[in-house]
Amino acid sequence: MTSRDRASRQSRVATLPPRERILDAAEELFSREGIKAVGVQAIATRARTTKMALYRHFATKDALVEEWLRIVAADYTAAFDEAENAHPGEPRAQLLGIARFIADGLPGISHRGCPFINSMAELPDRAHPARRLIEAHKAGQARRIAGLCARAGLTEPDEAAAEITFVLEGAQVSTQNGSVERAGERLMRIVEAVLDRRSVAKTAR
């Protein structure tokens, strides 16, 4: 981050209400350093507030982690909504729009990593509220993709959705660990191939 970027961010943070400043600080620190490595005091300091003020908004650090991930999940849901709204009645185009959203986000993942992947690695207890939130979000996302595959008339839509989900998730992991070059381009080609193959199979019948 350049000095200009830091100054711009500091100016923006200063105008936010305390709760939003805390969430903004948590997002930056959790993404950059991880959940376990970041203490409440560090978040409060970054948010230009106090631990007491932080605890007025979030009873525990776990509650703050959960709310941060809820916002991240909402961003992904909004992207799915945008893809559907941009291509009403065109499920294939909607699926490609979702794939494009993931592909376009890969450069950021290469620097910070996927917040869901990182968080699940740090939250092995499946009863943790944030872990449950991630699992519910991912399951809902997979169902939504399956629904689009069915509306697109693909053969075995659940299997098609599983293939697409594997590609979307795998591209993020591969980008994070640096094992695959041009992951975004390849992600788009693979998703298009899945759609073409299962559409052709449907026509052949």
Per residue in 19-55, pLDDT tens?
999 999 999 999 999 999 999 999 999 999 999 999 9
- Tens digit of each residue's pLDDT (9 = 90 or more) over 143-158: 999 999 999 999 999 9
Same domain? For 38 and 70 the reply is no
- Tens digit of each residue's pLDDT (9 = 90 or more) over 63-105: 999 999 999 999 999 999 999 999 999 999 999 999 999 999 9
Same domain? For 141 and 200 the reply is yes
- Here the CATH number for the domain that contains residue 41 is 1.10.10.60
Same domain? For 39 and 72 the reply is no
Please give the residue that has the higher pLDDT: either 193 or 14.
Answer: 193
Local structure of 30: helix, strand or coil: helix
Looking at residue 110, its pLDDT comes to: 65
DSSP 124: -
Same domain? For 7 and 65 the reply is no
Q: Name, in order, each residue with C-beta under 8 angstroms of 145's C-beta and a sequence gap of 6 or more.
A: 95, 98, 161, 164, 165
Query: What residue numbers bound the domain in which 33 lies?
Result: 3-57
Q: Name, in order, each residue with C-beta under 8 angstroms of 143's C-beta and a sequence gap of 6 or more.
A: none
Span 181-198, mean pLDDT?
96
Looking at residue 173, its pLDDT comes to: 92
Same domain? For 90 and 180 the reply is yes
Average pLDDT of the chain to the nearest whole number: 91
DSSP 88: T
Buried-exposed string 29-60: b where 16+ CB fall within 10 A, e elsewhere: bbbeeebeebebeebbebbebeeeebeebbee
Confidence of residue 1 (pLDDT cuts 50, 70, 90): very low
Same domain? For 129 and 40 the reply is no
